[in-house]
Structure 1
Amino acid sequence: MKKTLLAAGLTALMGTTAMADGIGVSMALFDDNFLTVLRNGIQSQADSAGLKVQIEDAQNDVAKQLDQINNFIASGVDAIIVNPVDTSATQAMSDAAAAANIPLVYVNRQPINVDTLPDNQAFVASNEVESGTLETIQLCDNWAAEGKTEVNVYVMQGELSNQAAVQRTQDIHDVMGDGRCKVKINIIDEQTANWSRDQAQTLMTNWLSTGAAFDGVIANNDEMAIGAIQAMKAAGIDMATVQVGGVDATQDALAAMQAGELDVTVFQNAAAQGGGALDAATKLAKGEAVDQKVYVPFELVTPANVADYASKN
């Protein structure tokens, strides 16, 4: 049996001896608010522990990311951490690292081969079954509290190649269908905005141009929720008349919530995921066993507790 990895990101790394060649990190994209917090979590824990890390930006390019992994292998790193661009393309990454006998840890985005990872590979993230579920149930409760029994909503999806987007959208449908929602939800339209604030603003503007009556927007992440809010505000919609939900509890999202614009988000501890991935990579590089799946719990954030999260990201 494999040893239990302590709570992700919380295991002290201060006593770890820096390894000769360090750890290579490939991030899907630097230009993303949540992933920036994740990347900073890796860097800050590495700095505290005296570990050398080389963090690269894959710029949302699968081929570029695989090249980065191959370059890490060629340079003889002690371990590799990957935040995948496309979670359906991770088998080749696992195979390359396994062939070189270099430990690999996936962080935040679940690889397609998560159930068949080699012994020296692991996955650190939060369980996406919780994310969209917490978001949707709270929005349902909000609508019920307003006295509504049936609502019309728009759903904004993340990148369809990403497991988190698929699961968070499935969470919405699961809550709709299993009786946990106290109101009937009718989805007017469901489209991807690729995690992007700008794309979400454009998509919401297009939806608004149809003139369809709606009660809210359920977004797979905060960036898209904020984009939707910007479009609605530009159209003169009173944000008190609609419910908007997202996931991640980024600083911008918390500010939007405090301004009365965002109604629900779900805190995903990016720094803990980053620290947990570094911890797992360090242990694997030293030949220690870790759990292959490590989950950092999601936490519901509403206007009632938003102040508690202001300093967490």
Structure 2
Amino acid sequence: MDRFDAMRAFTRIVERRSFTKAAEDLGLPRSSVTDAVQGLEARLGVRLLQRTTRQVSPTLDGEAYYQRCVSLIADMEDAEGAFVGAKPSGLIRVDVHGTQARHFLLPGLPRFREMYPDIRLHFSEAHQPVDLIREGFDCILRAGELNDSSLIRRKLATLERGTFASPDYLKRLGTPNTPGDLDGHEMIGLLAPDTTEVIPLAFQIKGKIHRVTLPAMMTVTGPETNVAAACLGLGLIQVPRYRAVPELASGTLVEVLADFPPTPLPVHALYSHKHQLSPRLRVFIDWVAQQFRDKAALQE
């Protein structure tokens, strides 16, 4: 393993706090990353990592060396990517909601593989806040308003939403014509990620946002369960319009309060400020943005 590869192995160990996880990310035997760090420590004459039975953490010298390695590796990848014909390669670990992955990303993946045959992808579906660096992700895709974050963000799309219910539900409780008609109605309680708070229904009325929280006989954390519960007549839901297309076509859901649409959901790609955008991550995020644009154009 050359010096730059050893530096890559070292930075991944620091980020993952684990030799084993770093080796898995890099597609190397654990012994190789262990030997790489031992070689760096011998060359530098300092101890870079503290090892315990539970985790690995950098020493003060290791933290300083990590920061220099991150900068050097990013510069090298940027330099290599500047040459005409250079092909991005390597593993990209992405956390993305499963419904978004299936609708926007998976259909275009065969073409992506043709364009970038040396890039490998790992999709995770956490549905909750993640520590991008510690958990080894290169980027995360998130819909909705973002809290203040040290992560770099790139807006990819804006998803229009609607309010939906099953015909049986509307037959039982009536069809509301305005948000003021929602007394006596119910909702499926979709919980905000990593909290126990139900996300209220939101309606745009004369340029202002009007939020309503209705009684809910059940709460859910997953978008698929949210839609399935609505199809069974258990309450109103608000979801991105693309997600309800099959149910609207089959008649298992209908739209209500169309004159008072929910606020749209922005979609962002987030990645760490600690890393310059590598060539493989840059082409992936550009491709993701194009997938969202293409899908949106088909629905216009």
TM-score computed with the length of structure 1 as normaliser: 0.41
Larger CA Rg, structure 1 vs 2: 2
